[in-house]
Homo-oligomer: A and B are copies of this chain.
């Protein structure tokens, strides 16, 4: 028997994380299933940013670099993210974008594995990761990028390989890579494992150090809710920090940035992962957003996220039998915090859903993505979303040429 809406309401009432939804400002009429693309706004963020702008910048001006602790924000925020991904506080720093940080860690990995010039990644990885590696390879230094099919990853780990670069949770399918196993395989080949946590940090209980990860990067604006284009982060395992030399060697990563000497000398520890002046307004938003995680253990969030995904799949198959393909793994443990369905008219269907204020997104050629951020999505939300989906399919509203004709909105 299919789960009823009232069952879902009961589940929400018994959910120890259920009260966290009130810490976000998702409009009442919206079911927001796109937190895997842009996390929702934590309610207290505007005031924190406002304080930084009006008081720290407007009144205290340049002095706030010290008096308001701006200069320490990258490491402070990094330390808070570290707790969510199984890293030590001094192994993570917040800075730049995911793309820029991937460039840093990939180049540093080559320096950590002298004599090896091959980087392996997988076809269909989040594109910016591949693009950045292509940019690094094009710079010279005889770097070779080998992009292989997912099933060929392990075979590609030869003794020429300096680093394996993978995204932990696939942006399109939501498939989770086995971090421990693939990291071990990379190590067996003498390579380093670099993990992109963009679609897992804040949604999955990652344990970088347990799994032996060498380097990692991730995004601040998806499940961490740091705001559009929020600063990203990078992780360097303690054992690699002494040998970590990244080429975007800006002054903030210098051992003594305010000595203003001509020659670069890397700071001790994770700070050498910094480049230019940190973006304070955005870091403050991200810092504030992380407060929400003080009220939720990652294990509990992951358990809820899996339950939400399972519920969604069950309801879709019950209410729309045979209509959609399931791109995501069926087993929750193999799936990130999203469920991806396929349908030849996926774009039009998603537009019809969005018109009903059920916000997921579409990825070409036929993928409907539904993200279940466990901090602010509840079980009744999932039920309502599927109810709308069933109504859209039953009504044929998605066939409306007005939707299909719209330019792709991604």
| Contacts from A to B (Cβ < 8 Å) | 25-27, 30, 32, 34, 37-38, 40-41, 45-46, 49-50, 53-54, 56-59, 61-66, 70, 96-100, 103, 107, 123-125, 127-128, 130-132, 134-136, 138-142, 147, 172, 221, 227-232, 245-252, 254, 257-264, 275-283, 285, 354, 359, 361, 363-364, 408-410
7 inter-chain pairs at a CB distance below 8 angstroms, sorted by A residue, are A45-B53, A62-B361, A63-B354, A96-B96, A228-B277, A231-B279, A258-B364
B38 near A61: Cβ-Cβ < 8 Å: yes
Chain B residues near A26 (CB, 8 Å)? 61
Task: Say whether, besides A127-B261, A131-B254, A262-B147, A140 and B139 are in contact (CB < 8 Å).
Answer: yes
A50 near B46: Cβ-Cβ < 8 Å: yes
Give the distance in Å from the alpha carbon of A130 to the alpha carbon of B159 in the complex.
35
- What is the chain B residue whose CB lies nearest that of A283? B229
- What is the chain B residue whose CB lies nearest that of A253? B131
* Distance (whole angstroms) from the CB of A53 to the closest CB of chain B: 5
B41 near A250: Cβ-Cβ < 8 Å: no
* Distance (whole angstroms) from the CB of A291 to the closest CB of chain B: 15
Chain B residues near A139 (CB, 8 Å)? 107, 139-141, 247
A97 near B276: Cβ-Cβ < 8 Å: yes
- What is the chain B residue whose CB lies nearest that of A27? B59
A100 near B25: Cβ-Cβ < 8 Å: no
B65 near A53: Cβ-Cβ < 8 Å: no
Give the distance in Å from the alpha carbon of A191 to the alpha carbon of B221 in the complex.
41
Chain B residues near A282 (CB, 8 Å)? 229, 279, 281-282
- What is the chain B residue whose CB lies nearest that of A67? B409
A25 near B58: Cβ-Cβ < 8 Å: yes
* Distance (whole angstroms) from the CB of A88 to the closest CB of chain B: 26
* Distance (whole angstroms) from the CB of A217 to the closest CB of chain B: 11
Give the distance in Å from the alpha carbon of A257 to the alpha carbon of B142 in the complex.
27
* Distance (whole angstroms) from the CB of A386 to the closest CB of chain B: 20
- What is the chain B residue whose CB lies nearest that of A260? B127
Task: Say whether, besides A46-B54, A254-B127, A277-B229, A364 and B41 are in contact (CB < 8 Å).
Answer: no
Chain B residues near A277 (CB, 8 Å)? 97-99, 221, 228-229
Chain B residues near A123 (CB, 8 Å)? 262
A140 near B140: Cβ-Cβ < 8 Å: yes
* Distance (whole angstroms) from the CB of A43 to the closest CB of chain B: 8
Partner of A37, one of B62, B275, B280: B62
Give the distance in Å from the alpha carbon of A147 to the alpha carbon of B344 in the complex.
59
Chain B residues near A64 (CB, 8 Å)? 228
B99 near A275: Cβ-Cβ < 8 Å: yes
* Distance (whole angstroms) from the CB of A271 to the closest CB of chain B: 14
* Distance (whole angstroms) from the CB of A52 to the closest CB of chain B: 8
* Distance (whole angstroms) from the CB of A226 to the closest CB of chain B: 9
Chain B residues near A59 (CB, 8 Å)? 25, 27
Task: Say whether, besides A41-B58, A61-B40, A263-B134, A250 and B53 are in contact (CB < 8 Å).
Answer: no
Q: Which 4 A-B pairs have the closest CB atoms?
A: A97-B276, A140-B141, A99-B250, A99-B276
A49 near B38: Cβ-Cβ < 8 Å: no
* Distance (whole angstroms) from the CB of A210 to the closest CB of chain B: 29
Task: Beyond A98-B277, A138-B247, list 13 extra A-B contacts (CB 8 Å).
Answer: A26-B61, A38-B62, A57-B228, A97-B276, A99-B251, A103-B248, A127-B262, A130-B262, A131-B254, A139-B140, A139-B141, A228-B280, A258-B408
A70 near B228: Cβ-Cβ < 8 Å: yes
- What is the chain B residue whose CB lies nearest that of A138? B247
Chain B residues near A263 (CB, 8 Å)? 130, 134
